[in-house]
Structure 1
Amino acid sequence: MKPLGEIPSPLSPRQTQILSLLAQGYRLGEIAQRLGISDSAVNLYLSNTKQKLGLKTKEHCLALAVRNGWLSKNGATLKSDQPH
């Protein structure tokens, strides 16, 4: 059960994963290498994330994700919409 007032994440698991890695301080190239995808794929995921959230920067996306409980403040712990 989700805590009262928590907003469900509209992001895909991969979009959330990329935001989490950004929050942990990884650069785009490092994220691509870590996930085994191309740099352009990471950029596409970020572009789609910004569009989905109606924001212009990855920093704003990170702030919104933290504020809404989609990932922890340090990005290390992802919240899931699935019960444990």
Structure 2
Amino acid sequence: MKCLGETPSPLSPRQAQVLCLLAHGYRLGEVALHLGISDSAVNLYLSNTRRKLGLKTNEQCLALAVHNGWLKQDCLSHSLDKAR
């Protein structure tokens, strides 16, 4: 998946990867399975991402990442399409 935008990001590569998978509509367990890590590791990456960005929800993190160009807009549209 080519989610990463052109703008430098404060996120670690793994944090960005987890957000990318969420943007593609993966659920937390699916993210863990795809990356070969535990559900608790995924939750830790997301918790650290929220803390680093000063936000409360994963959705806010996704929106900020797209707004700032850390993730491409078309990545987010995948999860919106899945939700419809």
TM-score range, shorter chain: 0.7 to 0.9
Q: What TM-score comes out, normalization by structure 1 length?
A: 0.79
Q: Name stretches of at least 5 consecutive residues in structure 2 with no aligned partner.
A: 1-5, 77-84
* RMSD (Å) for aligned C-alpha atoms: 1.5
Deviations 1:9-45 (A, max 9, x none): 1000000000000000000000000000000000000
Aligned to 2:19: 19
Q: 1:74 and 2:74 equivalent? A: yes
Alignment partner of 2:9: what SS? coil
Q: Name stretches of at least 5 consecutive residues in structure 1 with no aligned partner.
A: 1-5, 77-84
Quote how far apart the aligned CAs of 1:70 are. 0.6
% identity of equivalent residues: 75
Q: 1:60 and 2:74 equivalent? A: no
Q: Which has the higher helix share?
A: 2
Quote how far apart the aligned CAs of 1:46 are. 0.1
The runs of at least 4 aligned residues of structure 1 exceeding 4 Å deviation read none
Q: What TM-score comes out, normalization by structure 2 length?
A: 0.79
